[in-house]
Amino acid sequence: MDLRQLRYFVAVARERNFTRAAEQLHIAQPPLSRQIQLLEEELGVALFLRKTRPIRLTDAGRLLYEQSLQVLGRVDQMKDATRRVGQNRNQLLSIGFVASTLYGGLPTLVRKLRQNAPDLDIQLLEMLSIQQIPALKEGRIDMGFGRLKHIDAGIVSTVLREERLVVALPPDVPLARDAMPLPLEALARQKLIVYPKEPRPSYADHVLHLLHEAEARPGDVLEVREIQTALGLVAAQSGICIIPSSARQMRSDLSYRVIDSPGATSPVILYHRSGDTSRYLDLVKRLIRDMYAENPPWLMTNNIHPVEEG
């Protein structure tokens, strides 16, 4: 087994088609098929169910795919780190984040990180929560901040805080005339705007589940790609939108009401690879603890509650 075979295998697993994988790899299909066959012979197991269309991974294939992503990601990281050392460049830390975390503690955390590790180059990459998991496995990011609870043996997910949800409303609708907390039941039959439209599952599913549990069935549901679009449509009186409390800073021309329900929260979650012993990960965790201990204004203003560490 060599790295070339693993890259070939990953391409086929992603495309679920030998022809498309060969085109992506810029090789002919017969040698690609032969390398996958040699890999299966070496391992003594079938990696693909070839009689299905599109082809599917076997259980063994799924395991190898997950492990291959990590191995190849680590190799790419090793290459980049070696080049950076050889070129006297600083170490790179790549952080994935969902857009709404920019309105909570992420900017403060990054400033503190730059102050405490001036030799570190920090790369911030906006990506949805569900996109951060494969990005971690493939080594494209080193840690992520998202909102989707995810169970994966290769990823550690730590809930940092639970943030209250609020309803964004056009300022001249009846629901906007009162500033008191709003029960979920009051949103029944309202036209609802949710985001992101894809990929799923996502924050949109979290919101829809909350309404379903409260038996507050919305009227029409409009799905859009990002929070900025959703709030723009609210301003255009195209519906209402449920957002994390800290994201109220995005638009001052809307009205906001806190949702009066204990379960109406959205977690902020730190993701990182299992077994990661990086000193920068430990530094980030310490800075987060210090930041919460300072009790900054945005923490209280937005009804955000840090999770106690056990």
Q: What is the percent of the chain with per-residue pLDDT over 90, rounded to a whole number?
A: 64
Segments of 98-223 assigned E as strands? 120-126, 143-146, 155-169, 192-194, 221-223
Query: What's the pLDDT at 305?
Result: 61
Q: 72: which 2 tokens? A: 């190849």
Is there a contact between 183 and 170 (Cβ–Cβ < 8 Å)? no
Query: What's the pLDDT at 310?
Result: 40
Is there a contact between 226 and 253 (Cβ–Cβ < 8 Å)? no
Mean pLDDT, range 43-71, rounded to an integer: 89
Q: How many CA atoms lie within 13 A of 44 on its CB side?
A: 0
pLDDT in tens, 167-218: 999 999 999 999 899 999 999 999 999 999 888 888 999 999 999 999 999 9
DSSP string, 145-161: EES-----TTEEEEEEE
Q: How many CA atoms lie within 13 A of 252 on its CB side?
A: 0
The gap from C-alpha 222 to its chain's centroid, in whole angstroms, comes to 22
The domains located in the chain, with CATH, are 3-81 (1.10.10.10), 89-160+271-299 (3.40.190.10), 161-266 (3.40.190.10)
